[in-house]
Amino acid sequence: MTEKPIYDCIIIGAGPGGLQAAIYLGRFNRRVLVIDRGAGRTTHARHIENYLAQKGISGTDIIRIGMEQARSFGVDVIKGEVVSVLKDKDIFTVSTATDTYAGRYIVVSTGGKENIPEIENIHKFFARTVVTCIDCDGYHFTGRKTVVIGNSIKSADLAMGMREMYSKDMTLILCTDKLPPDYKEELKDEGIRLVIGRPKRFHGADAGEAVEMEDGTMIPCEMVMSHFGFKLNDQFLSGLNLKKESDGRTYQVNRDFESSLRGLYIVGPLCGHDQVVIAAGEGAIAALDIKKQLLEM
Ligand SMILES: Cc1cc2nc3c(=O)[nH]c(=O)nc-3n(C[C@H](O)[C@H](O)[C@H](O)COP(=O)(O)OP(=O)(O)OC[C@H]3O[C@@H](n4cnc5c(N)ncnc54)[C@H](O)[C@@H]3O)c2cc1C
């Protein structure tokens, strides 16, 4: 029987953050393992236009090409879902349901999972005319009949920001009536229609045409911004007692993206930013620091 190797670095999650770290560490001739369960958020992005030197590339292509690139530098990639990470002395043990792997350093780049409201037909239009991120897709709303759907004051802020940057034809649907009166006044002054109630169904043959409310009202629209946030994929970190930021959600990291546990790095949405180019940059920074630490060992 051959003994399992101790990897220099185990990367959990093959999104832009994890793959970029893998490419750097592979090119430092380090022994690297990527464990990924597939179908991450990047693969939902159909048309990424804000990544330098890419006029338009799908998230699926970024991941496919990144995976090929990492493998070409000797990185091992396996499909699996990590269920726990533990540290004993200087070695981490990473477990999936069926296996365990040992590594000296860890990069966690597991991103998040969209909170998708229960509205009929949402999956038909999701990532096309129903989107979730102003920085990613706000530009596609330019000059178009827009609906923002949410349930908080932040959704009202989002509608005002989108009105300023992209579209004057704006309706805000709030599922709960939590808005203070001065906010309602401000929306009115900005020319934003406010509807309180629950959306029932999206209408449209191919492109979006209208949102039907539970009371039967039809709100015409071409583009919808669904504002319900996303959950972080971080359950497997619960045994490590890592320090979090004051928001109680994202993780504390230093300037090299090392967490409060030495040797464990966290990049991407788990430490606050939700953009492909940023996750990739953070992955590169983490990999450079791991290279340095490995040389000092
Ligand atoms: C519809 C949509 C459009 C977007 N458009 C843009 C855009 O135009 N421009 C832009 O910059 N950003 C865009 N984004 C945001 C972008 O997708 C994220 O910023 C990016 O995914 C973050 O990269 P990541 O590497 O942290 O995570 P992800 O791409 O989410 O990758 C994480 C990976 O980890 C895996 N994983 C999770 N948990 C585990 C586990 N326990 N074990 C093993 N693997 C695990 C997942 O399966 C996934 O493959 C968009 C997002 C969405 C949803």
Specify the residue with its C-alpha closest to ligand 1, atom 25: 15
Q: How confident is the model at residue 274 (pLDDT cuts 50, 70, 90)?
A: very high
**6-113+230-296 and 116-227: identical CATH topology:** yes
**Nearest ligand 1 atom to alpha carbon 51:** 11
N- to C-terminal Cα separation, the chain:
29
Question: Where do we find the tokens 């399992």?
Answer: 4
**DSSP state for residue 163 in the 8-state scheme:** H
For ligand 1, mutation pick of 47, 79, 122, 133 (most atoms within 8 Å of CB): 133
Distance from C-alpha of 219 to C-alpha of 203, rounded to nearest angstrom: 10
Q: Are strands 130-131 and 264-266 parallel, antiparallel or unpaired?
A: unpaired
The answer to whether the CB of 240 falls within 8 A of the CB of 266 is: no
**DSSP state for residue 138 in the 8-state scheme:** G
Is pLDDT above 70 for 18?
yes
pLDDT attached to residue 178: 83
194-240 per-position pLDDT tens digit: 999 999 999 998 788 999 999 999 999 999 999 999 999 999 999 99
The answer to whether the CB of 115 falls within 8 A of the CB of 194 is: no
Across the chain, mean pLDDT equals 95
Domain 6-113+230-296 CATH class label: alpha beta
The CA 139 to ligand 1 mean position distance, Å, reads 20
Kindly list the protein residues whose Cβ atom lies closer than 6 A to any atom of ligand 1. 12-18, 35-42, 44-45, 48, 50, 81-82, 109-111, 114, 127, 131-133, 136, 233, 236, 268-269, 274-277, 279
Distance from C-alpha of 282 to C-alpha of 268, rounded to nearest angstrom: 7
Q: Which CATH superfamily includes the segment(s) 116-227?
A: FAD/NAD(P)-binding domain (3.50.50.60)
Distance from C-alpha of 146 to C-alpha of 131, rounded to nearest angstrom: 11
Is pLDDT above 60 for 270?
yes
Distance from C-alpha of 11 to C-alpha of 251, rounded to nearest angstrom: 17
Q: Determine phi and psi for 238, rounding to 5 degrees.
A: -65, -25
**Nearest ligand 1 atom to alpha carbon 44:** 1
Domain borders along the chain are 6-113+230-296, 116-227
pLDDT attached to residue 2: 61
**DSSP state for residue 51 in the 8-state scheme:** B
113-144 per-position pLDDT tens digit: 999 999 999 999 999 999 999 999 999 999 99
Question: How many percent of the chain have pLDDT more than 90?
Answer: 95
